[in-house]
Each structure stands twice: as C-alpha cells, then as structure tokens.
C-alpha cells in the first residue's frame, strides 16, 4: 500500500462513516455533526435507520437526543463507507472481528480508521486494533484508537468531556483530534496505542470488582484499594506488552478507571454490585440490556497475564469469582493475605526511562 498523507482537518468538512449506530456510535456521530461533518450511520435494523432519517432520532439508543440533518443512516454497510474519508468502528468487542471482516473488502487504501471499542478478544487476547490489522493489510499507519472517561449519554448531552486518541503516526492522531475537538469534547493525543487500548479494556474488569465490593458491603477503603492497586496491575501488564507507564495515569487509564468504578451509570459496576448482593452471573447477563464488557475481558486479561508471567492478583480474583464461582469473601482473603510487598516497583521506574515519547 502506498503511504497516504492525509490533509489537516481544520476548516474542512469530511464524510465520516460510523458503524454501527449503537449508543456510543450515535453519541460520536453527534460530536462529528456538531463539527459540521457529513456523518453516515450504519445499522442492520431498518426501523432504526428509518427513525434516524425521518424522525431525526435513534429509536433504540439515546432516544432523547435529536440528530441534525447532516447525520443520515443506512442498512447497507457498503453505502455507509463507499466514499467516506474516515470510518469509525464502535461495535461491542464481541462483534468487532465480524465487522472487521465485513469491512475489509469495502475499504480503500486511503481511508483512515478509528476504533472506539474497548475490550480484548477472549481466545486470542488481541486488542481491537490488532483484530482490524488481521483483515486490513498495512492498516497500522492509518489507524487510531479512542478511549477515555466518556459515558455516551453525557457526551450526547454535550456535557464537558475529555478523551484521548492514540495512533502510531502523529499526523493521523492530530487529524482525528481536530475532527472531534469542540468546546464540549476536548481531545488529547498519545503515541501509545497499546497502553490506551489496554487501559480502556481492563478498567471494566476493575469496575466489576469495585461493584462487587460495594454490593458485598466492604466499604470505601476496599474500593479505593481495588482502584489503586488495580492501576498498578494494569500498568504492570502494559509494560510487559510494550506500553508506557504514564499512559495509565492519564485519561485512558486513571480517568476512565475512576469514572467506571465510581459511577452508577457504569454497567460493569452495576453488574458487580448485583454479584456482590448474591445474584448469579448468568441471571445478571440475561437481565442486562447492554453488554457487560468486563466479563469477557476478565478472562482475556487473566489468560494474557498468565502467558506473560505477569502478576495480577486483583484481576485473577475477579476472574475466579466470575468464572469459577469463588466466594467473594474467599477472594478478598486471598488478596489481603498475600506476601508483603513494596508499593513502587523498579519495573515502573525503568519503564519511564526506556520509552522516549519525544521520538513520536
């Protein structure tokens, strides 16, 4: 593929495909539309498409939000992306591989791609950009990822929000930054694709753990410990994969972890609360109208850590509660009775010196 040189986004209108038109996709479409871009939403359901095109409302997601005229919808994936300058992928992580396979033959070499999906594939332990790369040749140089403390409903209400976009090529990151940036949606850029994706995925696992602690009545001290030491585990795993430790102190790391672990809007936290109250996981998943991403990600994260020989005791205990039915009290006891350790590990400090962001 010939290396493309995308123009700057400032002052230019772009055609952007957003697939699919779920809750997060609809919210991001609204941000893009507010910035004057032509947005095409894709959804399999003809009723959803008709509602967007005729009533200017997505009848299934964010139903209280009116969509402007520069947002249109289609049931045809090919029609959505045919002459788009950029394609934004926002499926649930479980559907990402299928969508990537469907999209691959429809894409041109000059279209830029943005993944806004958080998760790891359970069997392969791959991040979403890695799944995309499996179907689209030489995709890394024109792909970015978006993550951060971003509840879709608050973005759609135009409440002040910050996010981070990471890409291997700075020009691609800056283009997407300008594409989305507006007074309600502040965008930062970062060269650490691995760290941004990993943090955005694993925060859902911690949110389930914090929710379990709350539902079980363990108090705020326990929640704070899960968040803080959970960040240490995610950082440790990130370093093993080549991420930069500072990413986990930023929006995709600390910011998203605090949001997802402390807000009742978080479906992962809500699922954890129900588990802590004694509900069975299968019942919780059947009752939830939206995907609880952290359940799948907990399995992938635990297995990935085992493969890398990386110590992640909190993630391990959350996995064992979810998949082995381990009692929460026993999981807490395992964590509290572990061998005494220092808080700051040498590997973290070494990681700060090994990676030079100035080379981006």
Q: What whole-number distance in Å separates Cα of residue 355 and Cα of residue 336?
A: 33
- Expressed in angstroms, the distance from the first to the final Cα of the chain is 22
**Structural domains of the chain, with CATH:** 15-191 (3.40.50.720), 195-354 (1.10.1040.10)
Q: What is the pLDDT of residue 291?
A: 74
The pair of structure tokens assigned to 217 is: 């009545």
Q: Which residues are catalytic?
A: 203
Residues in the chain: 360
Nearest-angstrom CA–CA distance, 150 and 147? 8
| Prediction pTM value | 0.91
Q: What single-letter DSSP state applies at residue 327?
A: -
pLDDT tens, N- to C-terminus, the chain (360 residues): 333 334 445 578 999 999 999 999 999 999 999 999 999 999 999 999 999 999 999 999 999 999 999 999 999 999 999 999 999 999 999 999 999 999 999 999 999 999 999 999 999 999 999 999 999 988 889 999 999 999 999 999 999 999 999 999 999 999 999 999 999 999 999 999 999 999 999 999 999 999 999 999 999 999 999 999 999 999 999 999 999 999 999 999 999 999 999 999 999 999 999 999 999 998 898 875 567 899 999 999 999 999 999 999 999 999 999 999 999 999 999 999 999 988 887 766 676 655 556 667
CA distance 236 to 33: 39
Bridge pairing between strands 161-167 and 143-147: antiparallel
């Amino acid at each position: 593929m010939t290396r493309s040189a995308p123009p700057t986004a400032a002052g230019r209108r772009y055609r952007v495909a957003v697939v699919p038109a779920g809750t997060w996709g609809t919210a991001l479409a609204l941000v893009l539309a507010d910035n004057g871009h032509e947005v095409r939403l894709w959804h399999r359901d003809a009723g959803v498409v008709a509602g967007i095109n005729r009533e200017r409302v997505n009848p299934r997601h964010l139903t209280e939000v009116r969509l402007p005229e520069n947002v249109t919808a289609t049931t045809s994936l090919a029609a959505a992306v045919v002459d788009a300058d950029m394609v934004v992928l926002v499926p649930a992580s479980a559907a990402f591989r299928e969508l990537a396979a469907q999209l691959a033959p429809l894409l041109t070499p000059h279209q830029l791609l943005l993944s806004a999906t958080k998760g790891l594939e359970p069997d392969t332990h791959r991040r979403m950009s890695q799944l995309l790369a499996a179907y689209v040749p030489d995709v890394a140089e024109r792909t970015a990822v978006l993550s951060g403390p971003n509840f879709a409903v608050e973005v759609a209400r135009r409440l002040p929000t910050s996010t981070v976009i990471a890409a291997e090529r700075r020009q691609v990151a800056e283009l997407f930054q300008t594409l989305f940036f507006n007074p309600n949606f502040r965008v930062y850029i970062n060269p650490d694709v691995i760290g941004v994706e990993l943090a955005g995925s694993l925060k859902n696992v911690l949110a389930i753990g914090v929710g379990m602690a709350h539902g079980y009545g363990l108090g705020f001290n326990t929640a704070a410990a899960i968040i803080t030491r959970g960040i240490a585990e995610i950082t440790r795993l990130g370093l093993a994969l080549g991420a930069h430790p500072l990413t986990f102190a930023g929006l995709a790391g600390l910011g998203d972890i605090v949001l997802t672990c402390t807000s009742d809007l978080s479906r992962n936290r809500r699922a954890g609360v129900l588990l802590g109250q004694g509900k069975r996981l299968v019942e919780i998943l059947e009752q939830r109208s939206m995907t609880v991403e952290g359940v799948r990600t907990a399995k992938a994260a635990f297995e990935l850590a085992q493969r890398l020989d990386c110590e992640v005791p909190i993630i391990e205990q959350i996995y064992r509660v979810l998949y082995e039915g381990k009692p929460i009290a026993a999981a807490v006891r395992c964590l509290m009775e572990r061998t005494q350790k220092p808080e700051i590990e040498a590997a973290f400090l070494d990681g700060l010196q090994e990676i030079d962001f100035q080379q981006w």
